[in-house]
Amino acid sequence: MASSIFFSPAANAVTVPIRFTATATAATPTPTPRLVLVRANNASASASGPTLTLEECEAAAVAGNFPAPPPHSKPPGPKGTPLIKPLDLTRRPRRNRKSPTLRSAFQETTLSPANFVLPLFIHEGEEDAPIGAMPGCFRLGWRHGLMDEVYKARDVGVNSFVLFPKIPDALKSPTGDEAYNDNGLVPRTIRLLKDKFPDIVIYTDVALDPYSSDGHDGIVREDGVIMNDETVHQLCKQAVSQARAGADVVSPSDMMDGRVGALRAALDAEGFHDVSIMSYTAKYASAFYGPFREALDSNPRFGDKKTYQMNPANYREALIEAQADEAEGADILLVKPGLPYTDVIRLLRDNSALPIAAYQVSGEYSMIKAAGVLKMIDEERVMMESLMCIRRAGADIILSYFARQAAGILCGAKSN
């Protein structure tokens, strides 16, 4: 491009020939071709003074004598391009997309590592164990692997984490009492993390499924009914135990009715007024959770979660949940899954002033990973686009297994 010569990073100054023509004023000396130094930055400008004074330059401009501008020409279309009369358009939206600078100036949505929350699987082991259905994800040893992962995530600007424990079968029970063991895997891990990284934000999952011998988020009655209020009682104990260990945000993912208000009251009663509640407001009964359940070995032993998680066909129902959560004191409303439910994210964004979170769940992650490995899609670009789309839909924060990988890209060279 011709104009780039003026700002060539390789040289501070470039010489531009100025031609004076015969129409120069009488005061102008005999026209001779001259070379003028055009400085591209101020640092070098003081090295030697300008060759022409401002008055001389202005006089030359008034007389119509300027340096010949670089030629500007549009290359022709390929052979065979039809010769047409241009369309008479008032609007040509492509004008605002014609260069990387214009495109980035008009970009409406941005992604930043500050928007990400990284979900981490932890277990009692010393070694990290790969999760078959989630390439690149591991059940991390809570004392070593987890600390390494948090360290690396912080390095690329991810400072928020949500913990999911893989609980030994022997500690599971129908009432999930291990969920509020102050020395259980989650509270123990929170204390260690807070000790090593005092400034990180720790989100916890509040639900019984990792602790339930039935693999359900609540207590299961003999006839298969998930008991609402009794489950909420357990969840309150779980959240208080997590808060006691140092959790910053407790996140009920169980979908019991009334749990947000009950958690708020339980936390306040114990003096945890500063612990936030991120409610899984619109959590759908989704097949996209499959890989996660493999990771935690938390598949329901029977039946499904349709009596508490929402029907994927429903939209308005998300408003009912949002209104209840807001009234009960939720600090953040979450939609889950993410990409297939961007309409619901937008619905909550437009109907609440609270921050909105979206969870790009395990199935979404694994689909992109698998198609990337098979070279069917460009994994990195699809990853970044999917995260951007979730932000565009209205999510402030995104829980994503891609958080560290995506933040790494955001920290490195940006491409348009």
State the residues that interact with ligand PBG by CB under 6 A. Answer: 205, 207, 209, 217, 253, 289, 292-293, 305, 361-362
Nearest to 116 by CA among 297, 307, 344, 384: 384
State in angstroms the smallest separation of the CB of 253 from ligand PBG. 4
Cα–Cα distance for residue pair 266/239, rounded to 1 Å: 8
Residue of minimal Cβ distance to ligand PBG: 292
208 token code pair: 């019984």
State in angstroms the smallest separation of the CB of 297 from ligand PBG. 12
Phi, psi of 97 (to 5 degrees): -120, 10
Which runs of E-coded beta strand occur in 253-324?
A: 276-283
Phi, psi of 255 (to 5 degrees): 65, 25
Helix or strand holding residue 369 (H, E): helix 362-373
Q: Coil, strand or helix: which one is 206?
A: strand
Other Cβ atoms closer than 10 A to 192: 16
Look at the block and give the residue holding tokens 């999911």.
164
Q: In sequence order, what DSSP letters do the residues of 143-164 get, joined into one string?
A: TTHHHHHHHHHHHTT--EEEEE
State in angstroms the smallest separation of the CB of 165 from ligand PBG. 11
Q: How far, in Å, are 11, 20, 52 from residue 38 at the CA level?
A: 11, 17, 11
Query: Of the two residues 121 and 272, which places its CB atom closer to ligand PBG in the complex?
Result: 121
What length does the chain have?
A: 416
Respond yes or no: is residue 196 known to be catalytic: no
Catalytic residue among 166, 172, 305, 336: 336
Query: Of the two residues 131 and 156, which places its CB atom closer to ligand PBG in the complex?
Result: 131
Cα–Cα distance for residue pair 214/216, rounded to 1 Å: 5
Q: How far, in Å, are 8, 209, 233, 359, 397 from residue 278 at the CA level?
A: 51, 18, 18, 12, 11
Query: Of the two residues 18 and 247, which places its CB atom closer to ligand PBG in the complex?
Result: 247
b vs e for 264-290, b when ≥16 Cβ sit within 10 Å of the residue's Cβ?
bebbeeeebeebbbbbbbbbbebebbe
For residues 39 and 16, is the Cβ–Cβ distance under 8 A? no
Cα–Cα distance for residue pair 412/222, rounded to 1 Å: 55
Query: Of the two residues 142 and 284, which places its CB atom closer to ligand PBG in the complex?
Result: 284
Catalytic residue among 283, 369, 375, 414: 283
Query: Of the two residues 65 and 379, which places its CB atom closer to ligand PBG in the complex?
Result: 379
State in angstroms the smallest separation of the CB of 370 from ligand PBG. 15
Strands 34-39 and 13-18: antiparallel
Which runs of E-coded beta strand occur in 68-125?
A: 116-123
State in angstroms the smallest separation of the CB of 296 from ligand PBG. 8
State in angstroms the smallest separation of the CB of 178 from ligand PBG. 15
Cα–Cα distance for residue pair 284/286, rounded to 1 Å: 5
State in angstroms the smallest separation of the CB of 164 from ligand PBG. 7
Q: In the chain, what is the straight-line distance between the N-terminal and C-terminal CA atoms, in Å?
A: 19
Query: Of the two residues 65 and 281, which places its CB atom closer to ligand PBG in the complex?
Result: 281
Query: Of the two residues 65 and 309, which places its CB atom closer to ligand PBG in the complex?
Result: 309
CA 355 vs. chain centroid, Å, equals: 14
Respond yes or no: is residue 283 known to be catalytic: yes
State in angstroms the smallest separation of the CB of 182 from ligand PBG. 21
List residues with catalytic annotation.
Answer: 283, 336
